[in-house]
Amino acid sequence: MKILFDTSVLVAALVDSHAHHSVAFSWLVKVRRHEVEGYIATHTLAELYAILTSLPVQQKVSTTEVWQLIQNSVLPIFEVVPLTKDDYQEVLESLSEADLRGGAVYDALIAHAAVKAKVDKLLTYNSKHFRKVYPAISTFIEEPMSP
């Protein structure tokens, strides 16, 4: 099964104190064990770095530690789905036609990567956002549950 992971699931999987850590981490383990094929959008790498380097925690994690975490725990096990100029244009045109603004573009880019990779499932803790920005994939958007 091919699964694209939204940033929200990766953050939960990588942050021990996150409320959804155990469930999200179990999905990460399934990717590591090759029980499922894991995919992420190129945009997810930047978003993951941004979130992990700005978490509101008492003991800040250094940027070097975050980069090492991404290098060691994400990049080796996930297929990264690149988006081209044409992909960006298609997403922006769709958002414009739907009169969607602001940060919706980021979820739309991740959803577009899911379509491009022909995944079976998009895992996210923001399913409502994804259904709004990319209705065509509503049938395979899921919130992580214990696998």
Question: 136 lies in which domain range?
Answer: 2-142
Lowest mean pLDDT among 20-24, 74-78, 123-127, 130-134: 130-134
Q: Residue 92 pLDDT more than 90?
A: yes
DSSP-assigned letter for residue 80: E
Number of domains in the chain: 1
Please state the pTM of the whole predicted model: 0.93
Q: Which of 125, 139, 100, 94 is nearest to 112 (CA)?
A: 94
Is 147 among the domain residues? no
Burial 47-83 (b: 16+ CB within 10 A, else e): bbbebbeeeeeeeeeeeeebeebbeeebeebbeebeb
CATH number of the domain where residue 90 is located: 3.40.50.1010
End-to-end CA distance of the chain: 12
How confident is the model at residue 56, as a pLDDT?
83
How confident is the prediction for the chain on average, in pLDDT?
94
How confident is the model at residue 145, as a pLDDT?
84
Q: Percent of the chain scored above 70 by pLDDT?
A: 98
